[in-house]
Amino acid sequence: MSVIGKGSCSTVFLVRCKTRGTLYAMKVTSISHIQARGEVAHTKNELLVLSTLPEHPFIVTCHYAFKDTSYLYLILDYCPGGELFYLLQKTKKFPEDITKFIIAQLISGYEHLHKAGIMYRGGKPEDIVITGSGHIKMVDFNLAKIDSVGTTFCGTPEYLAPEVLMGNAYTNAVDLYSIGTLTYELLTGLPPFYDVDVQAMYTRIMTSALKLPEPPFHPQLADFVGCLLQREPKKRPSIVELKKHPWLGGVDWETLTKQTHPFLVPQLRSPEDVSYFDDSFTKMAIDHLWQGQTVPVVVDEFPDWYYDATMSLRGLERFPRNYPEWPPFIKDAIKEVSLLASRDTIWREVPMELLLVIMHYYLLYHITLYNKYKVWKGVLQ
């Protein structure tokens, strides 16, 4: 329908499901390009994170993944408010109340990631999109890492933490640094140590003291940004500690999804309105993007690039909200099915897509028995 984003290896399209009419963002990645750039591992990691992470209101949901001989496809939430980066470009900087609302949602998303043992290693304005209700969603998980320690030099130059630049092993404290950088940029229009010379910027990040803008931040805000941009990672607060900071004192963490700010709510002329996306993308001719781009890949480095959220354990966890007649202990049943799949080595040789189908219908069978006889013996008994 329209191009809504483009990177070095990927293009994002607005698409519609033919059967249900649902709008999605389809991320199409050229396999040959990511192989040439040595980004195979990062690309695999994105699907791994998105397909295993429990859903969260401020993190994009992956609905499907599939491939052909030349491209990888991810079907994701469509967020019609566009990139936070594009909105910041148009407004130059945000008022403090809007910044706080955005940062609070971002912190909630980071908390979810950190509880799952995931470092985001992103967080720049291009990594955040705005939903139709005026909330944010974190996107682009190709740099995310399911681990407590990282050593890879990766990320956007302006958002790299000092320990990454120094070549040290690092923890999810790099994500706290990114929150500080984004807060500063939203309020002033530029990252705190920005320089057109990248090497000079790296030096400033590692050695320079933080300079507050003019007029300066008030004490609570200055302390919030300052504690996050500490050069020593151990001096930065954890996500849990950060939620208790005085600058966030008025945030109701339990009702963030119900709160709105008119400034962030897109005024759409139609569901397909793409006016909140950069017109350098939306004016691209879709057909032109595919001409000459089909390059069949000789070596398949993505044999498991398949995902269907409706057939995954994460998808099954949605059902109790849609089907109240299911047993109240449905999640225990899901855990039992998961155990069945993990304890027997023969299951490890079954293709994942087939395994998910088997697990799905195996569970449905026992649910049917329960609804008919009101007896639940557990799927492993």
- Find out whether 82 and 281 touch, Cβ atoms under 8 Å: no
Tokens matching residue 263: 């400034």
- Find out whether 245 and 255 touch, Cβ atoms under 8 Å: no
**Is residue 358 predicted with pLDDT exceeding 70?**
no
Q: Can you tell me the distance from the alpha carbon of 110 to that of 176, in angstroms, rounded to the nearest whole number? A: 9
Q: Please tell me whether residues 111 and 188 are part of one structural domain.
A: yes
Predicted confidence band at 326 (pLDDT cuts at 50, 70, 90)?
A: very low
Q: Is residue 111 part of a domain?
A: yes
Tens-place pLDDT, residues 100-145:
999 999 999 999 999 888 889 888 999 999 999 999 999 989 888 8
Residues facing residue 145 across a β-bridge: 119
- Helices 219-228 + 173-188 axis angle, to 10: 140
Tens-place pLDDT, residues 157-214:
888 899 999 888 888 999 999 999 999 999 999 999 898 999 999 999 999 989 888 8
Tens-place pLDDT, residues 33-90:
888 888 888 888 888 888 888 889 999 999 888 888 888 999 999 999 999 999 999 9
Q: Can you tell me the distance from the alpha carbon of 369 to that of 379, in angstroms, rounded to the nearest whole number? A: 11
Q: Please tell me whether residues 94 and 233 are part of one structural domain.
A: yes
Q: Please tell me whether residues 25 and 107 are part of one structural domain.
A: no
Residue 13 φ/ψ, nearest 5 degrees: -115, 150
Q: Is residue 296 part of a domain?
A: no
Helix/strand/coil for 350 = coil
In terms of Cβ atoms closer than 10 Å to its own Cβ (0-12, 13-18, 19+), residue 186 is buried
DSSP state of 214: S
Q: Please tell me whether residues 62 and 171 are part of one structural domain.
A: no
Q: Can you tell me the distance from the alpha carbon of 134 to that of 261, in angstroms, rounded to the nearest whole number? A: 7
Mean pLDDT of 346-366: 61
Q: Please tell me whether residues 122 and 20 are part of one structural domain.
A: no
CATH classification at residue 68: 3.30.200.20
- Find out whether 60 and 47 touch, Cβ atoms under 8 Å: no
Q: Which residue has the tokens 């099954």?
A: 316
- Least Cα distance to 62 among 52, 40, 295, 44 occurs for 52
Q: Please tell me whether residues 148 and 201 are part of one structural domain.
A: yes
Q: Please tell me whether residues 260 and 116 are part of one structural domain.
A: yes
Looking at residue 169, its amino acid is: A
Q: Is residue 44 part of a domain?
A: yes
- Least Cα distance to 4 among 28, 21, 20 occurs for 28
Residues 6+ apart with CB under 8 A from 283: none
Q: Is residue 65 part of a domain?
A: yes
Q: Is residue 40 part of a domain?
A: yes
Q: Give me the helices (H) in the chain, please.
A: 31-36, 40-52, 84-91, 96-115, 162-165, 173-188, 198-207, 219-228, 239-242, 279-282, 286-290, 313-316, 319-322, 330-343, 352-373
Q: Can you tell me the distance from the alpha carbon of 8 to that of 155, in angstroms, rounded to the nearest whole number? A: 14
Q: Is residue 327 part of a domain?
A: yes
Tokens matching residue 92: 């130059």
Helix/strand/coil for 18 = coil
Predicted confidence band at 321 (pLDDT cuts at 50, 70, 90)?
A: very low
Q: Is residue 282 part of a domain?
A: yes
Q: Please tell me whether residues 352 and 254 are part of one structural domain.
A: no
Q: Can you tell me the distance from the alpha carbon of 57 to that of 253, in angstroms, rounded to the nearest whole number? A: 12
Q: Please tell me whether residues 275 and 259 are part of one structural domain.
A: no
Residues 6+ apart with CB under 8 A from 121: 143, 144, 145, 150, 154, 155, 174, 175, 178
**What's the domain range around 364?**
312-373
Q: Is residue 306 part of a domain?
A: no
Q: Please tell me whether residues 88 and 222 are part of one structural domain.
A: yes
Q: Please tell me whether residues 252 and 122 are part of one structural domain.
A: yes
CATH classification at residue 260: 1.10.510.10
Tokens matching residue 302: 């993505």
The 10 Å Cβ neighbour count of residue 330 is 18
In terms of Cβ atoms closer than 10 Å to its own Cβ (0-12, 13-18, 19+), residue 315 is middle
DSSP state of 307: E
Looking at residue 209, its amino acid is: A
Provide the number of structural domains found in the chain: 3
Which CA distances in Å does 88 have to 4, 35, 52, 211, 283?
17, 33, 31, 21, 20
Q: Model pTM?
A: 0.79
Domain stop point among 290, 324, 346 = 290
Q: Please tell me whether residues 93 and 186 are part of one structural domain.
A: yes
**Is residue 349 predicted with pLDDT exceeding 60?**
no
Mean pLDDT of 323-349: 53
Tens-place pLDDT, residues 209-263:
898 888 889 999 999 999 999 999 999 999 999 999 999 998 999 898 888 888 8
